Amino acid sequence: MPESLLELCERWHVDEALRRYPGLSLQPANGSEVRLRGEIEFIARYPEHSEIEDTYDIEIRIPKKFPGQLPTAVEVGGRIPKDFHTNFDKTLCLGSEVRQRLLLGKTPTLRVFLEKCLVPFLYGYS
């Protein structure tokens, strides 16, 4: 029996991600994925680099088979040029699948995906 939206959100710890990034909200989606859309605001600092505070308008597409299939993200605010590390389908190139899986670790959640895969990409563009 397929999981309900509530069950998927619980398994992925979506509540954790929405508390950390309150500008995001669940959106209507098709039968194969769940979508979050809105502003993702972050403050990030990486070794030997400056701290950056920034905000992007993002759509995150989470396949119902996550973590078997990885989420994707599209910057919808028009800040990131389409030729800057984007895939043919306009999703952001967040690194290889192997790299993302290593970053997600043994307990992949949506918040871990956002913090370890998406925010570093946005920081790099900023």
pLDDT given for residue 80 in this prediction:
94
pLDDT (tens place) for every residue of the chain, 126 residues total: 578 888 988 999 999 999 999 999 998 777 889 999 999 999 988 888 889 999 999 999 999 999 999 999 999 999 999 889 999 999 999 999 999 999 998 889 999 999 999 999 999 999
Cis peptide before 67 (omega within 30 of 0): yes
Domains in the chain (CATH in brackets) are 5-125 (3.10.110)
pLDDT given for residue 105 in this prediction:
87
- 52-63 vs 72-75, strand pairing mode: antiparallel
CA distance 77 to 69: 25
Tell me which residue of 111, 97, 88, 89 sits closest to 68, measured CA to CA: 97
CA distance 111 to 60: 12
Contact 110, 118 (CB under 8 A): no
Look at the chain and count its residues: 126
On the CB side of 40, how many CA atoms lie within 13 Å of its CA? Answer: 24
